Amino acid sequence: MPLQLLKISPRDIPQLSPRDRDYWLGEDKLQKLLPHKAEEDAFRQILALRKRYPTDRKLLHSVLSKQYSGHHLAKAEEENLRALLSENTFTVCTAHQPVLFTGPLYFIYKIASAIALARRWEEKIPEGHRVIPVFILGAEDHDFEEIACAHLGEHDICWQSQAGGPVGRLSTQTLEEPLQELEKALNGHPIARRIAEIFRSHTRYGPAMARLLRELFGKYGLLVLQTDEAELKRSFIPQFKKELFDRPSQEAVESTQQHLKQLGYRPQAHAREINLFYMTDDFRRLIVPEGSGFRIRHTDLHFTEEEMLRELKEQPERFSPNVVMRPLFQEHILPNLAYVGGGGELAYWMERPGQFERFGIPFPMLVRRNSALWLSPNDVRLMKKTGISPEELFLPPEQLLSQRLQRAGGRSLHLSEEKKQMKALFQQIERKAEAIDPTLLAATRARARSAEKELEKLEKKMLKAEKRKHEQELAQLQKLHDNLFPGGKLQERHANFLPYYAAYGSKVLDFMISNFNPLEKAFYLLLPAETAVS
């Protein structure tokens, strides 16, 4: 595979949130709030705990078999599906909404990380046991805007649809224009034509996305599960009932959030009194308490307690967990050891341990997915030309130029030291003035403030003059930064994976899965091998 992988510390990535960086680096203050550390040594402990919580494996196997019916299964898919029936088979899970054409890069990184972790643990698990990767397609989500666009280089492809209900149930008929745009963006590459075939052969969006993921990852044994199934919801009725009538989630989550706030982290999720939606093909609305019964927000639907219990028993598929309840549902239906996710979603999970305890469901290890930055041959050439180190790629261009000029010229472009000296000087003057006449103190301080402002103006002029002398270098740094951080964001939160697949073929996934290790505290750079960077 003509790719190489470089590693840098998350500590050198200013674009990461403080909580994301702290958890990734294994800070004790966060780890102590969770039942398990994200470390290799915790694996067997979780395995022992998980064995004590029953999973309805026959139900899980039955649902997946139904979802996979009518499709040819890769050998690894077939083996892993059969293995789920064994009490000695466990899973590593990740999940996401069915974003258009795989959405931003991190969608693919999550899956590759989960597969890599499952492979790693399968080598360590006791003989006769299995660890298999599972991807949960969050097709019940109703936020259409979050899934509707894909950014392929200069091509922004967006899906126009009248959406209101769960996105997985949307018709694929309105996808014709985005499919044509995809073929143009990928210059008619076979992967674009294959995606078009998949979506044109399915009537609903969720199953089509599941089929695409099986196409990409089936040979690695990934099982794609759609949880919008009445049978799975039926198995969760006791937990639905507990949330509807006992309502333990809000207090449990808010209690943990208070601990996190004391550590300097803001709450991530808004836990509600009832953390469930009522869902049909046309809408997904919150269930809210009203008097002794329930109301479905933004509708005319009302239920008494007896009516709600009957609805839950007869139509469990109409009940959908929100972001606060979804982790419990996932862990209930899977024999799961670890959840693999990005910094933002793990922040949600970190607020859940007390809630899991109240529902009696084992809490998984939280594993931060791998992150990566792709460099094109042109990016690498520009990097070499400007002499940037891998760590410096993440700095704003002006800050980077200032630091480099300071190192090269042996002088600082900032007047911070001079400001300190001037402040100390005016403090001496203030003491003398006050000793002579206290009424001079206000005037002296006013002169000090005025002098500080003049020094700041001079500093800006010096910086501007110095930068004019290096306009070409700054332009090169800005160009490189714009290439790698579209819209000022990490590349993985914007750019789509399919252009890389078109450039390198399916072996790019082999490379990622073979080289990713989500337990490693490293941010990856991916670049062409022929443009090696040390």
| Region 151-156 average pLDDT | 93
pLDDT value, residue 445: 87
Positive or negative, the Cα torsion across 497, 502, 504, 508? Answer: positive
The model's confidence at residue 522, banded by pLDDT at 50, 70 and 90, is: very high
The pLDDT, as a whole number, for residue 485 is: 93
Residue 197 has pLDDT above 60, yes or no: yes
> How high is the pLDDT of residue 164?
76
Residues 256-283: what's their mean pLDDT? 94
> What local confidence, expressed as pLDDT, does residue 411 receive?
55
Residue in this structure with the two tokens 């890599």, named with its chain if needed: 116
pLDDT over 60 at 290, yes or no: yes
pLDDT reported for residue 533: 66
- More confident position, 529 or 267: 267
Mean pLDDT to the nearest integer, 145-173:
91
pLDDT tens sequence across 390-447: 999 999 888 887 777 766 655 555 777 888 888 888 888 888 888 888 888 888 888 8
Can you list the positions of beta strands (E) in 447-516?
Answer: none
Residue 23 reports pLDDT greater than 80: yes
Spell out a b/e string for 107-127, using b for 16 or more CB atoms within 10 Å of the CB, else e: bbbbbbbbbbbbbbbbeebee
**Dihedral sign computed on CA atoms, order 258, 260, 262, 267:** negative
Greater model confidence, 353 or 462: 353
Backbone angles phi, psi at 64, to 5 degrees: -65, -40
Per-residue pLDDT at 165:
85
**Pairing state of beta strands 130-137 and 223-226?**
parallel
Whether 465 has a pLDDT exceeding 90, the answer reads no
In the predicted model, is pLDDT for residue 206 greater than 80? yes
CB-based burial of residue 409 (10 Å sphere; 0-12 exposed, 13-18 middle, 19+ buried)?
exposed
CA of residue 383 relative to chain centroid, distance: 27
The answer on pLDDT for 272 being more than 90 is: yes
Say how far apart CA 98 and CA 140 lie, in whole Å. Answer: 9
pLDDT digits (tens, 9 = 90+) for 36-76: 999 888 888 899 999 999 999 999 999 999 999 988 999 99
Confidence check: pLDDT of 470 > 80: no
pLDDT tens, 80-117?
Answer: 999 999 999 999 999 999 999 999 999 999 999 999 99
Return the structure tokens found at 49.
């705990």
CA atoms within 13 A on the CB side of 362: 21
d(CA 349, CA 345): 7
DSSP structure class, residue 370:
P
* Higher local confidence (pLDDT), 534 or 316: 316
How many Å apart are CA 424 and CA 429, to the nearest integer? Answer: 9
Q: Is 291 exposed, middle or buried (0-12, 13-18, 19+ CB in 10 A)?
A: exposed
Q: Are 175 and 159 spatial neighbours (Cβ–Cβ below 8 Å)?
A: yes
Q: Is 466 exposed, middle or buried (0-12, 13-18, 19+ CB in 10 A)?
A: middle
pLDDT range class, residue 274, cuts 50, 70, 90: very high
Query: 346 with 26: CB under 8 angstroms?
Result: no
SS3 157: strand
Please give the pLDDT value at position 424.
87
Mean pLDDT of the chain: 92
Q: Mean pLDDT throughout 510-514? A: 96
Q: Is the pLDDT of residue 296 over 70?
A: yes
- Of 171, 178, 228, nearest to 202 by C-alpha is 171
Kindly report each contact of residues 8-15 with a partner whose C-beta sits within 8 Å and lies 24 or more positions away, as own/partner: 8/390, 8/391, 8/522, 8/523, 8/525, 9/521, 9/522, 9/523, 10/371, 10/521, 10/522, 10/523, 12/391, 12/394, 12/523, 13/394, 13/523, 14/394, 14/395, 15/394, 15/485, 15/489, 15/490
What is the phi-psi region of residue 523: left when phi exceeds 0, alpha when psi lies from -120 to 50, beta otherwise? beta
For residue 402, the tally of other CB atoms under 10 A from its CB is 20
pLDDT at 312: 97
Q: What pLDDT score was predicted for residue 367?
A: 97
What was the pLDDT predicted at 408?
Answer: 60
Res 534: pLDDT: 61
